[in-house]
Structure 1
Amino acid sequence: MTSKPTVLFVCVHNAGRSQMAAGYLRHLAGDRITVLSAGSEPRDKVNPVAVQAMTEEGIDISQAVPKILTTGAVQESDVVITMGCGDTCPYFPGKRYEDWVLDDPAGQDIEMVRGVRDDIKRRVQALVQELIG
Protein backbone atom coordinates (compact mmCIF):
# COMPACT_ATOMS: atom_id res chain seq x y z
CA MET A 1 0.00 0.00 0.00
CA THR A 2 1.25 3.51 -0.75
CA SER A 3 2.15 5.92 2.03
CA LYS A 4 -1.28 7.54 1.62
CA PRO A 5 -3.91 4.86 1.05
CA THR A 6 -6.92 5.40 -1.21
CA VAL A 7 -10.29 4.03 -0.11
CA LEU A 8 -13.28 3.71 -2.46
CA PHE A 9 -16.80 3.30 -1.05
CA VAL A 10 -19.35 1.86 -3.48
CA CYS A 11 -23.12 1.44 -3.22
CA VAL A 12 -25.78 1.27 -5.91
CA HIS A 13 -26.98 4.88 -5.87
CA ASN A 14 -23.97 6.62 -4.25
CA ALA A 15 -26.55 8.71 -2.41
CA GLY A 16 -26.62 7.28 1.13
CA ARG A 17 -24.34 4.64 2.60
CA SER A 18 -21.24 5.34 0.50
CA GLN A 19 -21.62 9.10 0.95
CA MET A 20 -21.97 8.76 4.74
CA ALA A 21 -18.92 6.48 4.88
CA ALA A 22 -16.89 8.89 2.74
CA GLY A 23 -17.98 11.78 4.97
CA TYR A 24 -16.85 9.97 8.11
CA LEU A 25 -13.54 8.90 6.58
CA ARG A 26 -12.72 12.44 5.44
CA HIS A 27 -13.71 13.76 8.87
CA LEU A 28 -11.70 11.20 10.84
CA ALA A 29 -8.61 10.81 8.61
CA GLY A 30 -8.28 14.31 7.17
CA ASP A 31 -5.73 14.31 4.37
CA ARG A 32 -4.02 11.09 5.52
CA ILE A 33 -6.33 8.95 3.36
CA THR A 34 -7.65 9.70 -0.13
CA VAL A 35 -11.40 9.11 -0.12
CA LEU A 36 -13.51 8.21 -3.17
CA SER A 37 -17.14 7.14 -3.50
CA ALA A 38 -19.22 5.99 -6.44
CA GLY A 39 -22.30 4.03 -7.44
CA SER A 40 -23.26 1.55 -10.12
CA GLU A 41 -26.52 3.49 -10.76
CA PRO A 42 -25.95 6.93 -9.17
CA ARG A 43 -28.89 9.15 -8.27
CA ASP A 44 -28.97 12.83 -9.15
CA LYS A 45 -28.44 13.96 -5.52
CA VAL A 46 -27.51 12.69 -2.08
CA ASN A 47 -30.37 11.36 0.07
CA PRO A 48 -31.58 14.35 2.16
CA VAL A 49 -32.21 12.10 5.18
CA ALA A 50 -28.58 10.90 5.01
CA VAL A 51 -27.49 14.56 4.85
CA GLN A 52 -29.62 15.28 7.94
CA ALA A 53 -28.22 12.29 9.85
CA MET A 54 -24.63 13.33 9.09
CA THR A 55 -25.33 16.99 9.98
CA GLU A 56 -26.31 15.72 13.45
CA GLU A 57 -22.73 14.40 13.68
CA GLY A 58 -21.26 17.73 12.58
CA ILE A 59 -20.37 16.41 9.10
CA ASP A 60 -21.70 18.20 6.02
CA ILE A 61 -22.23 15.96 2.99
CA SER A 62 -24.82 18.26 1.40
CA GLN A 63 -22.44 19.30 -1.40
CA ALA A 64 -21.49 15.73 -2.33
CA VAL A 65 -22.50 14.65 -5.82
CA PRO A 66 -23.26 10.99 -6.66
CA LYS A 67 -20.76 9.65 -9.24
CA ILE A 68 -20.78 6.70 -11.58
CA LEU A 69 -18.45 3.85 -10.66
CA THR A 70 -15.53 3.67 -13.08
CA THR A 71 -12.89 1.03 -13.62
CA GLY A 72 -10.28 3.75 -13.04
CA ALA A 73 -11.60 4.52 -9.56
CA VAL A 74 -11.25 0.86 -8.61
CA GLN A 75 -7.77 0.63 -10.15
CA GLU A 76 -6.47 3.65 -8.20
CA SER A 77 -7.87 2.43 -4.87
CA ASP A 78 -6.01 0.33 -2.32
CA VAL A 79 -9.19 -0.62 -0.45
CA VAL A 80 -12.60 -1.07 -2.12
CA ILE A 81 -15.57 -1.24 0.24
CA THR A 82 -18.85 -2.28 -1.33
CA MET A 83 -22.25 -1.81 0.26
CA GLY A 84 -24.71 -3.91 -1.65
CA CYS A 85 -23.65 -3.29 -5.26
CA GLY A 86 -23.38 -7.02 -5.91
CA ASP A 87 -21.84 -8.17 -9.18
CA THR A 88 -21.75 -4.67 -10.70
CA CYS A 89 -18.49 -3.86 -8.91
CA PRO A 90 -15.41 -4.47 -11.06
CA TYR A 91 -12.81 -6.75 -9.51
CA PHE A 92 -9.05 -6.39 -9.84
CA PRO A 93 -6.64 -8.92 -8.32
CA GLY A 94 -4.36 -7.47 -5.66
CA LYS A 95 -6.93 -5.03 -4.27
CA ARG A 96 -8.34 -5.35 -0.80
CA TYR A 97 -12.11 -5.79 -0.95
CA GLU A 98 -14.64 -5.67 1.86
CA ASP A 99 -18.41 -5.95 1.59
CA TRP A 100 -20.23 -4.10 4.35
CA VAL A 101 -23.75 -5.47 4.71
CA LEU A 102 -25.85 -2.40 5.54
CA ASP A 103 -29.53 -1.63 5.08
CA ASP A 104 -30.25 0.82 2.27
CA PRO A 105 -31.41 4.17 3.73
CA ALA A 106 -33.26 5.14 0.51
CA GLY A 107 -36.82 6.16 1.35
CA GLN A 108 -36.36 5.45 5.07
CA ASP A 109 -37.06 7.68 8.07
CA ILE A 110 -34.42 9.45 10.16
CA GLU A 111 -34.47 6.87 12.96
CA MET A 112 -33.60 4.04 10.56
CA VAL A 113 -30.94 6.15 8.82
CA ARG A 114 -29.34 7.03 12.17
CA GLY A 115 -28.90 3.32 12.84
CA VAL A 116 -27.18 2.81 9.47
CA ARG A 117 -25.06 5.93 10.09
CA ASP A 118 -23.93 4.68 13.50
CA ASP A 119 -23.01 1.27 12.04
CA ILE A 120 -21.00 3.00 9.30
CA LYS A 121 -19.26 5.20 11.88
CA ARG A 122 -18.06 2.16 13.87
CA ARG A 123 -16.76 0.46 10.73
CA VAL A 124 -14.99 3.61 9.47
CA GLN A 125 -13.37 4.19 12.87
CA ALA A 126 -11.99 0.63 12.77
CA LEU A 127 -10.77 1.15 9.19
CA VAL A 128 -8.94 4.37 10.14
CA GLN A 129 -7.26 2.58 13.08
CA GLU A 130 -6.16 -0.21 10.79
CA LEU A 131 -4.90 1.96 7.90
CA ILE A 132 -3.19 4.82 9.75
CA GLY A 133 -3.24 3.97 13.45
Structure 2
Amino acid sequence: MTDKPSVLFVCVHNAGRSQMAAGFLAHLGEGRIEVRSAGSAPGERVNPVAVEAMREVGIDISGEQPKMLTVDAVRESDVCVTMGCGDACPVFPGKRYLDWRLDDPAGQGIEAVRPIRDEIERRVRALIAELITAA
Protein backbone atom coordinates (compact mmCIF):
# COMPACT_ATOMS: atom_id res chain seq x y z
CA MET A 1 0.00 0.00 0.00
CA THR A 2 1.13 3.54 -0.71
CA ASP A 3 0.08 6.92 0.61
CA LYS A 4 -1.49 7.69 -2.75
CA PRO A 5 -5.23 7.30 -3.12
CA SER A 6 -6.18 4.30 -5.25
CA VAL A 7 -9.08 3.75 -7.64
CA LEU A 8 -10.42 0.54 -9.15
CA PHE A 9 -12.61 0.76 -12.27
CA VAL A 10 -14.84 -2.27 -12.84
CA CYS A 11 -17.04 -3.24 -15.79
CA VAL A 12 -18.13 -6.67 -16.98
CA HIS A 13 -15.52 -7.34 -19.67
CA ASN A 14 -12.84 -4.82 -18.63
CA ALA A 15 -12.53 -4.08 -22.31
CA GLY A 16 -14.13 -0.66 -22.83
CA ARG A 17 -15.42 1.72 -20.17
CA SER A 18 -13.13 0.64 -17.34
CA GLN A 19 -10.09 0.62 -19.63
CA MET A 20 -10.87 4.12 -20.91
CA ALA A 21 -11.38 5.36 -17.34
CA ALA A 22 -8.13 3.79 -16.18
CA GLY A 23 -6.34 5.32 -19.16
CA PHE A 24 -7.67 8.78 -18.35
CA LEU A 25 -6.84 8.46 -14.64
CA ALA A 26 -3.31 7.24 -15.33
CA HIS A 27 -2.73 10.08 -17.80
CA LEU A 28 -4.48 12.93 -16.00
CA GLY A 29 -3.54 11.81 -12.49
CA GLU A 30 0.14 12.17 -13.36
CA GLY A 31 1.20 9.44 -10.93
CA ARG A 32 -0.61 10.97 -7.96
CA ILE A 33 -3.28 8.24 -7.87
CA GLU A 34 -2.90 4.47 -8.07
CA VAL A 35 -5.00 3.05 -10.92
CA ARG A 36 -6.54 -0.42 -11.31
CA SER A 37 -9.16 -1.87 -13.61
CA ALA A 38 -10.83 -5.26 -13.76
CA GLY A 39 -13.88 -7.12 -15.00
CA SER A 40 -16.31 -9.62 -13.55
CA ALA A 41 -16.11 -11.61 -16.81
CA PRO A 42 -13.02 -10.27 -18.64
CA GLY A 43 -13.01 -10.23 -22.41
CA GLU A 44 -10.29 -11.53 -24.68
CA ARG A 45 -8.90 -8.08 -25.50
CA VAL A 46 -9.55 -4.38 -25.10
CA ASN A 47 -12.24 -3.12 -27.47
CA PRO A 48 -10.41 -1.79 -30.56
CA VAL A 49 -12.92 1.06 -30.93
CA ALA A 50 -12.18 2.12 -27.34
CA VAL A 51 -8.46 2.02 -28.19
CA GLU A 52 -9.12 4.18 -31.26
CA ALA A 53 -11.27 6.67 -29.31
CA MET A 54 -8.57 7.05 -26.68
CA ARG A 55 -5.85 7.41 -29.30
CA GLU A 56 -7.82 10.38 -30.68
CA VAL A 57 -7.24 12.21 -27.37
CA GLY A 58 -3.58 11.20 -27.12
CA ILE A 59 -3.86 8.25 -24.71
CA ASP A 60 -2.64 4.81 -25.75
CA ILE A 61 -4.42 1.88 -24.09
CA SER A 62 -3.51 -0.61 -26.82
CA GLY A 63 -1.08 -2.48 -24.55
CA GLU A 64 -3.70 -3.15 -21.86
CA GLN A 65 -5.28 -6.56 -21.23
CA PRO A 66 -8.63 -7.28 -19.55
CA LYS A 67 -8.10 -8.54 -16.01
CA MET A 68 -10.25 -10.61 -13.64
CA LEU A 69 -11.82 -8.78 -10.72
CA THR A 70 -10.37 -10.06 -7.45
CA VAL A 71 -11.25 -9.48 -3.83
CA ASP A 72 -7.71 -8.18 -3.30
CA ALA A 73 -8.12 -5.52 -6.00
CA VAL A 74 -11.20 -4.20 -4.21
CA ARG A 75 -9.62 -4.48 -0.76
CA GLU A 76 -6.52 -2.54 -1.89
CA SER A 77 -8.50 0.31 -3.47
CA ASP A 78 -9.86 3.39 -1.73
CA VAL A 79 -12.53 4.00 -4.37
CA CYS A 80 -14.29 1.36 -6.46
CA VAL A 81 -16.07 2.70 -9.54
CA THR A 82 -18.50 0.24 -11.11
CA MET A 83 -19.79 0.61 -14.64
CA GLY A 84 -22.61 -1.83 -15.25
CA CYS A 85 -21.18 -4.87 -13.48
CA GLY A 86 -24.20 -5.43 -11.27
CA ASP A 87 -23.53 -7.08 -7.92
CA ALA A 88 -20.26 -8.72 -8.99
CA CYS A 89 -18.10 -6.32 -6.99
CA PRO A 90 -17.46 -7.39 -3.39
CA VAL A 91 -18.33 -4.79 -0.77
CA PHE A 92 -15.98 -3.93 2.07
CA PRO A 93 -16.77 -1.53 4.91
CA GLY A 94 -14.90 1.74 4.70
CA LYS A 95 -14.50 1.68 0.92
CA ARG A 96 -16.10 4.31 -1.27
CA TYR A 97 -18.26 2.93 -4.08
CA LEU A 98 -19.45 4.89 -7.10
CA ASP A 99 -21.72 3.54 -9.83
CA TRP A 100 -21.20 5.32 -13.13
CA ARG A 101 -24.09 4.50 -15.43
CA LEU A 102 -22.62 4.74 -18.91
CA ASP A 103 -23.55 3.21 -22.23
CA ASP A 104 -21.53 0.13 -23.14
CA PRO A 105 -19.21 0.76 -26.10
CA ALA A 106 -19.24 -2.95 -27.05
CA GLY A 107 -20.36 -3.37 -30.64
CA GLN A 108 -20.57 0.40 -31.19
CA GLY A 109 -18.84 2.44 -33.86
CA ILE A 110 -16.46 5.30 -33.13
CA GLU A 111 -19.23 7.92 -33.46
CA ALA A 112 -21.14 6.28 -30.57
CA VAL A 113 -18.02 5.69 -28.46
CA ARG A 114 -16.73 9.28 -28.53
CA PRO A 115 -19.51 10.67 -26.29
CA ILE A 116 -18.99 7.77 -23.84
CA ARG A 117 -15.26 8.53 -23.80
CA ASP A 118 -15.91 12.23 -23.24
CA GLU A 119 -18.30 11.55 -20.34
CA ILE A 120 -15.76 9.20 -18.76
CA GLU A 121 -13.10 11.91 -19.06
CA ARG A 122 -15.41 14.46 -17.39
CA ARG A 123 -16.11 12.09 -14.48
CA VAL A 124 -12.45 11.12 -14.09
CA ARG A 125 -11.40 14.78 -13.96
CA ALA A 126 -13.98 15.41 -11.21
CA LEU A 127 -12.79 12.35 -9.29
CA ILE A 128 -9.17 13.47 -9.54
CA ALA A 129 -10.10 16.91 -8.20
CA GLU A 130 -11.86 15.29 -5.22
CA LEU A 131 -9.06 12.83 -4.43
CA ILE A 132 -6.22 15.31 -4.76
CA THR A 133 -8.05 17.87 -2.59
CA ALA A 134 -8.77 15.22 0.06
CA ALA A 135 -5.14 14.03 0.05
Query: Shorter-chain TM-score: which interval?
Result: over 0.9
Q: Tell me what 2:119 maps to.
A: 119
CA–CA distance in 2 between the matches of 1:72 and 1:6? Answer: 13
Q: Tell me what 2:99 maps to.
A: 99
TM-score (norm 2): 0.96
Whether 2:52 is the aligned partner of 1:57: answer no
Whether 2:96 is the aligned partner of 1:86: answer no
The number of residues matched between the two structures is 132
CA–CA distance in 2 between the matches of 1:9 and 1:99? Answer: 10
Shift of 1:31: 1.2
CA–CA distance in 1 between the matches of 2:114 and 2:59? Answer: 13
Whether 2:10 is the aligned partner of 1:10: answer yes
Query: What's the CA shift string for 1:110-130, capped at 9, x where partnerless?
Result: 011001000000000000111
SS of 1:35's partner is strand
Q: Which runs of 4+ in 1 moved over 2 A?
A: none
Which stretches in structure 1 are left out of the alignment for 5+ residues? none
SS of 1:87's partner is coil
**Match of 1:99, as an amino acid?**
D
TM-score (norm 1): 0.97
**Match of 1:93, as an amino acid?**
P
Give % identity.
70
Q: CA RMSD in A?
A: 0.8
**Match of 2:87, as an amino acid?**
D
Which stretches in structure 2 are left out of the alignment for 5+ residues? none
Query: What's the CA shift string for 1:75-108, capped at 9, x where partnerless?
Result: 0000000000001111111100000000000000
CA–CA distance in 2 between the matches of 1:19 and 1:35? Answer: 10
CA–CA distance in 1 between the matches of 2:96 and 2:119? Answer: 21
CA–CA distance in 2 between the matches of 1:48 and 1:126? Answer: 26
